[in-house]
């Protein structure tokens, strides 16, 4: 049981993220153990932030994760585990490309399902926020409106399939499982269909980009606000 000497109290101001609006922030009074206080001190030193800013960042995770005493869950109540990014990519790369495509489909649907629970399945900006908060890849839209997905996220076919379901939600049909490297290189008709439907675009050496995952200029400005 904690005594008065081992309890720290913080008043944390939770700010409204909307710009050009009146301050609608709330002040939360949080009491923590001395041990946790020392951890927060270390985190603030590591990140060169105030302790209040670090605590606020952790509280913001409540918008994207569910936490109980034994586990961390997604917004749709799925148990989560933490994997190193490189291990995740290496594991996916061991599978044949058709299996990678199926994994991409399931991952894309997972993000869409969480967004749907928040009535935001058509909100691309929010879905990219989910991807970033869940450690998939940083949210990055270039000046021409292309969504750029870091290549460290996973192998090409997995990323293509994932992005297809994330953005189109299969309203333009399923991702063709014949869009494998072998089929694209060996079949002129498959290559033609792939280039028309997926149409990969080179923006830089470290990101994937696709014509179907390009945001209209007007919408790009809204997503960045």
pLDDT tens digits, 100-149: 999 999 999 999 999 999 999 999 999 999 999 999 999 999 999 999 99
Whether residues 57 and 95 fall in one domain: no
Q: Tell me the mean pLDDT in the region 9-36.
A: 70
- Assess contact for 32 and 7: CB atoms under 8 A: yes
Residue 97 has pLDDT above 60, yes or no: yes
Residue 72 lies in a domain: no
Q: Tell me the mean pLDDT in the region 58-74.
A: 90
Torsion angle (degrees, nearest 10) of CA 151, 131, 216, 176: 60
pLDDT bucket at 10, cuts 50 / 70 / 90: low
Residue 196 CB-density burial (10 A; 0-12 exposed, 13-18 middle, 19+ buried): exposed
Query: By C-alpha distance, which of 160, 187, 152, 154 is closest to 176?
Result: 160
Whether residues 208 and 103 fall in one domain: yes
Residue 45 lies in a domain: yes
- Facing residues of 66 across strands? 73
pLDDT bucket at 221, cuts 50 / 70 / 90: low
| Predicted local distance difference test score (pLDDT) of residue 225 | 55
Whether residues 144 and 48 fall in one domain: no
Residue 18 has pLDDT above 50, yes or no: no
Question: By mean pLDDT, which of 17-21, 36-40, 66-70 is the weakest?
Answer: 17-21
Residue 205 lies in a domain: yes
pLDDT tens per residue across span 147-169: 999 999 999 999 999 999 999 99
Whether residues 108 and 37 fall in one domain: no
Residue 41 lies in a domain: yes
Neighbours of 130 (CB within 10 A): 23
Q: Tell me the mean pLDDT in the region 51-57.
A: 92
| Predicted local distance difference test score (pLDDT) of residue 70 | 84
Q: How many domains does the chain have?
A: 2
pLDDT bucket at 24, cuts 50 / 70 / 90: confident
Cα 63–Cα 69–Cα 71 angle in degrees, nearest 5? 65
Whether residues 126 and 30 fall in one domain: no
| Predicted local distance difference test score (pLDDT) of residue 23 | 64
Q: Left if phi > 0, otherwise alpha if psi is -120 to 50, otherwise beta: which for 155?
A: beta
57/5: higher pLDDT: 57
What is the radius of gyration, based on Cα positions, of the chain? 21
- Assess contact for 180 and 156: CB atoms under 8 A: no
DSSP assignment string, 63-75: GT-EE-SS-EE-T
Torsion angle (degrees, nearest 10) of CA 32, 38, 44, 45: 170
Q: Left if phi > 0, otherwise alpha if psi is -120 to 50, otherwise beta: which for 28?
A: beta
Residue 2 has pLDDT above 50, yes or no: no
Domain containing 219 equals 85-224
Whether residues 90 and 55 fall in one domain: no
Residue 214 lies in a domain: yes
Whether residues 90 and 139 fall in one domain: yes
């Amino acid at each position: 049981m904690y005594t008065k000497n081992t309890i720290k109290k913080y008043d944390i101001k939770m700010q409204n993220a909307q710009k050009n609006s009146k301050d609608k922030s709330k002040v939360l009074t949080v009491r923590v153990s001395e041990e946790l206080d020392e951890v927060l001190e270390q985190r603030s030193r590591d990140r060169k932030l105030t302790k209040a800013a670090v605590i606020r960042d952790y509280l913001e995770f409540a918008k994207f994760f569910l936490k109980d005493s034994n586990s961390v869950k997604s917004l749709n109540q799925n148990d989560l585990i933490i994997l190193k990014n490189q291990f995740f990519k290496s594991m996916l790369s061991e599978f044949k490309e058709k299996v990678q495509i199926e994994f991409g489909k399931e991952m894309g649907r997972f993000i869409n399902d969480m967004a749907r629970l928040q009535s935001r399945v058509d909100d691309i900006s929010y879905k990219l926020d989910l991807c970033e908060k869940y450690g998939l890849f940083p949210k990055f839209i270039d000046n021409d409106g292309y969504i750029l997905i870091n290549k460290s996220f996973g192998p090409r076919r997995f990323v293509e399939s994932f992005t297809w379901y994330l953005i189109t939600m299969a309203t333009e049909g399923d991702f063709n499982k014949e869009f494998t490297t072998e089929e694209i290189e060996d079949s002129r008709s498959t290559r033609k269909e792939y280039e028309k439907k997926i149409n990969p675009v080179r923006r830089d050496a470290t990101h994937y980009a696709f014509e179907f995952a390009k945001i209209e200029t007007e919408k790009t400005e809204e997503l960045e606000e």
